[in-house]
């Protein structure tokens, strides 16, 4: 049985944590004058520590630094509204998560279960992370729109456990599509060979819908010298910290796409209902198969489907050699949302929501998928 330590948390929050089955919950309820030098008693051996609003943010951050200096494997969770500034400061102090005080019991259970030890195996009893690479051989088919909205749908089920990486190193526009003004970008993540996962977390922007974003470079020259090893390391670092990592890539099969796929559990190939795009997608899938870079999770999103195109979904499947996972109909509402910096899945009657829910269900269906660094060829 794992041990969860509550430090200065709100009583209602503490009750929700205490209701979780399979965990020993210990309350060390401090007052506002909590000394930063206070540490969990050695006999507690806690797995997770929640630090709440009973102490100031400054004292909570100092407390985390002191505790983690002696207990580096401890999972520290700050209970506070997860604004951009709070999330960044908490990550620098060593907190693994920042969660809203109103987080419900179901989300708390997912977090605690994912971070606590399995006493039978002595290993972390967590759901295997999913690295989802969103790719397309051609630009203009809705790849980035798919990536940002897929991230939002995943975050609805797992708030603050999802990160979106903009790895379109030439013309990434995730930040503009989400109306973000990031202080840091992937350029900072690639700036030094000695960058660790904790530092990378400080570079993330936050979105109000409950997910993190590592925004793209401002121009092609910024990442001209980035190597495949750096890309693989970045994706691997973030997959160690988040349940879901969604990667938006450049059009085509450039180094950032190929290197990301080496770390991927899933690929989402975005295509459209026209012969040229479908043929390009099939060629891309064949190349990835020849390279051994097709992960076990293979999903095809058919975008901008229109019966007037003269092709059916069955025609598209025959051309691709793969079943279509989900179909997004042609709609001006999707482009309108993107042009206003809004998530299409967050607007009423938007036709993107249900198709992405279907895609998300397929991605999350297997809860113990291992990364496939060298996949099998497409048959």
Residue written as token pair 């929501």? 353
Q: What is the structure's pLDDT at 317?
A: 93
Domain span(s) for CATH 3.40.50.300 in the chain: 130-364
Nearest to 111 by CA among 63, 50, 165: 50
What span, in angstroms and rounded, lies between the C-alpha atoms of 322 and 149? 23
Vertex 326 angle, CA 262 and 133, to 5°: 15
Q: What is the pLDDT of residue 193?
A: 65
pLDDT at residue 68 in the model: 87
Largest CA distance in the chain: 71
Angle 365-245-165 from CA coordinates, rounded to 5°: 145
Sign of the Cα pseudo-torsion (356, 362, 368, 374, in order)? negative
Give the per-residue pLDDT at 370: 37
**Residue 138 to residue 250: CA distance in whole angstroms:** 9
The C-alpha atoms of residue 9 and residue 51 are separated, in whole angstroms, by 6
Q: Could you give the residue range(s) of every CATH 3.40.50.2300 domain in the chain?
A: 2-124
Rounded Cα–Cα distance for residues 23 and 7 (Å): 16
Torsions phi, psi of 55, nearest 5? -125, 160
Strands 75-79 and 266-272: unpaired
Query: Are 23 and 2 contacting, i.e. CB atoms less than 8 angstroms apart?
Result: yes
For the domain covering 130-364, report its CATH number: 3.40.50.300
pTM, full prediction: 0.68
pLDDT of residue 41: 52
| 327 close to 300: Cβ distance less than 8 angstroms | no
Architecture (CATH level 2) of domain 2-124: 3-Layer(aba) Sandwich (3.40)
What is the rounded CA–CA span in Å between residue 229 and residue 233?
6
The pLDDT tens digits along the chain (379 residues) read 688 999 988 899 999 999 888 888 888 755 433 444 455 555 557 889 999 888 889 999 999 988 888 888 789 999 998 776 787 788 888 888 888 888 888 888 878 887 774 544 443 334 578 999 999 998 889 999 999 999 999 998 888 899 999 999 888 889 999 999 988 888 888 886 656 677 788 889 989 888 999 998 877 777 778 889 999 999 999 998 899 999 999 999 999 999 999 999 999 999 998 899 999 999 999 999 999 999 999 999 999 887 777 788 899 999 998 899 999 988 778 877 777 777 878 776 778 889 999 999 999 875 433 333 333 344 3
In the block, residue with structure tokens 């770390």: 263
Calpha distance 360→356 (Å, rounded):
6
Is residue 76 within 8 Å of residue 96, measured between CB atoms? yes
For β-strands 205-207 and 211-214, DSSP reports them as antiparallel
């Amino acid at each position: 049985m794992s041990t969860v330590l509550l430090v200065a948390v709100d009583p209602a929050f503490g009750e929700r944590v205490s209701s979780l089955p399979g965990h020993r919950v210990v309350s060390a309820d401090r007052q506002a004058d909590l000394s930063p030098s206070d540490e969990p008693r050695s006999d507690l051996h806690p797995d997770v520590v929640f630090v709440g609003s009973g102490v100031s943010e400054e004292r909570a951050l100092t407390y985390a630094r002191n505790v983690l200096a002696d207990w580096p494997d401890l999972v520290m969770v700050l209970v506070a509204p997860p604004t951009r500034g709070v999330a960044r400061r908490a990550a620098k102090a060593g907190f693994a998560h920042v969660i809203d005080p109103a987080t419900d019991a179901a989300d708390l259970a997912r977090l605690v279960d994912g971070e606590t030890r399995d006493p039978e195996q002595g290993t972390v009893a967590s759901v295997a992370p999913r690295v989802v690479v969103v790719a397309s051989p051609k630009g203009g088919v809705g790849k980035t729109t798919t990536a940002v909205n897929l991230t939002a749908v995943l975050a609805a089920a797992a708030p603050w456990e999802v990160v979106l990486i903009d790895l379109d190193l030439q013309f990434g526009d995730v930040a503009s599509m989400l109306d973000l003004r990031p202080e840091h970008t992937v350029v900072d993540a690639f700036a030094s060979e000695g960058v660790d996962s904790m530092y990378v977390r400080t570079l993330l922007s936050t979105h109000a819908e409950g997910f993190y974003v590592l925004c793209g470079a401002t121009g092609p020259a910024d990442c001209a010298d980035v190597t495949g090893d750096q890309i693989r390391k970045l994706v691997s670092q973030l997959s160690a910290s988040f349940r879901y990592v969604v990667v938006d890539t450049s059009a085509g099969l450039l180094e950032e796409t190929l290197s990301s796929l080496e770390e991927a559990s899933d690929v989402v190939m975005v295509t459209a209902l026209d012969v040229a795009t479908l043929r390009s997608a099939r060629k891309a899938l064949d190349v990835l198969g020849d390279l051994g870079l097709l992960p076990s999770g293979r999903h095809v999103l058919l975008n901008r489907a229109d019966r007037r195109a003269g092709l059916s979904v069955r025609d598209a499947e025959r051309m691709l050699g793969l079943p279509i996972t989900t179909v997004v109909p042609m709609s001006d509402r999707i482009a309108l949302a993107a042009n206003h910096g809004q998530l299409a899945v967050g607007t009423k009657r938007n036709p993107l929501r249900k198709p992405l829910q279907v895609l998300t269900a397929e991605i999350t269906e297997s809860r113990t998928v291992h990364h496939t660094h060298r996949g099998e060829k497409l048959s």
